[in-house]
Amino acid sequence: MPARTSRADDKSVAAPQPAAPGGAAMSGFRPPESCLKEFTPLRDEAARRAQLLKMSPGRRFAPGEACRLVHDYELAQNKMLDYAVAHASTCGIPAKITDQLKANHENTLTVMRKVCTVTWNVAPGGLRPSAGPHGSS
């Protein structure tokens, strides 16, 4: 039932573009190679997890399976967000992009809470949103 979980096509997975985050190409800025090497795998993992969600609409899930898919995406998205926030100045990631990533992550948390409510009620030690500096409950 995670129909609205496909935030995969939102900019949290695609942004910032490694070659020119936030349109930085116009200013001639290119992020350090270390930023690209560290951020790209995080973005790719979030995109891979998002693709798994996109392929799942209408599919019947075993108890907790939909929750696990959304949770795995949320964890990957959170890692990407943590990196973007921590390295925004070094990597030249504009505040607009990190704000958008945060908003997209909040949307993912909302969807995850809805999808996982049944799982959490059934399994007391079940999945919980990742705790990070971006706030989650």
Number of domains in the chain: 1
Contact 99, 91 (CB under 8 A): no
- List pLDDT tens digits, range 67-80: 899 999 999 999 99
Pick the closest to residue 124 from 115, 114, 136, 116 (CA basis): 116
Q: Is residue 25 part of a domain?
A: no
- Nearest-Å Rg of the Cα atoms of the chain is 16
pTM above 0.75, yes or no: no
- List pLDDT tens digits, range 32-49: 899 999 999 999 999 999
Residues whose CB falls within 8 Å of the CB of residue 126, separated by 6 or more in sequence, listed in order: 64, 67, 116, 119, 120
10 Å CB burial of residue 72 (0-12, 13-18, 19+) is middle
Whole domain around residue 106: which residue ranges? 3-18+31-122
Q: Span 55-72, mean pLDDT?
A: 82
Q: Is residue 135 part of a domain?
A: no
